[in-house]
Amino acid sequence: MSNPNKDVIDVLNDLIEYSKDGQKGFEKSAEDVKSPQLKAFLQARGAGCADAARELQAEVLHLGGKPEDSTSLTGDLHRAWIDLKTTFTSNDDEAVLNETERGQDYALKAYREAREKLTKLNVPAAQNSLVLVDKQLQGAQKNHDEVKALRDRVRAENH
């Protein structure tokens, strides 16, 4: 017997991957920056992404699905790119924040697309999940804006 919530679960599982990508990306960026304040900020954002993934996993379980528990191939490739790039820039804080912001651009796009898909599904499970996705979209936007502001501040200090 198939789960009537399968389409909603698929959308949420995609977001779990992006949340886990965000967690790993922020953790990787925290390792690469020199500034203790940036390191603490990035570690906190990584923990926030882990919390978001757990919330999404709980929703998938609630809907009778099996929650995703891994990162995406795209996220893995982006982190490998960050490793390569920071090797050549000597872990320059601005370069790390540039890549972190780019990762947040992907997260925002994923959340906006998920929101659109859930809206189009127009089933009760999608409506309930939409509340969670909207809340997390606001968090992703906040992460993006804060990373961008920090990057701009570091850039101004360096130039």
Could you list the residue range(s) of the whole structural domain that residue 42 is in? 6-158
Quick check: 8 and 121 in contact, CB under 8 A?
A: yes
CA distance 96 to 78: 12
For residue 64, what is the DSSP state?
T
Quick check: 48 and 146 in contact, CB under 8 A?
A: no
pLDDT at 91: 54
Query: 129: burial class by Cβ within 10 Å (0-12, 13-18, 19+)?
Result: buried
CA distance 87 to 146: 24
What is the arithmetic mean of pLDDT over 144-155? 93
pLDDT at 100: 87
- Residue 142, in any domain of the structure: yes
- Residue 38, in any domain of the structure: yes
Does residue 75 surpass a pLDDT of 60? Answer: no
- Residue 1, in any domain of the structure: no
Does residue 89 surpass a pLDDT of 70? Answer: no
Q: Residue 90 maps to which CATH number?
A: 1.20.1260.10
pLDDT digits (tens, 9 = 90+) for 39-51: 999 999 999 999 9
- Residue 81, in any domain of the structure: yes
Indicate the pLDDT class of residue 77, thresholds 50, 70 and 90. low
Q: How many domains does the chain have?
A: 1
Residue from 129, 136, 132, 133 nearest 6 by CA: 129
The full DSSP string for 89-119 is: TTT-HHHHHHHHHHHHHHHHHHHHHHHHHHH
- Residue 57, in any domain of the structure: yes
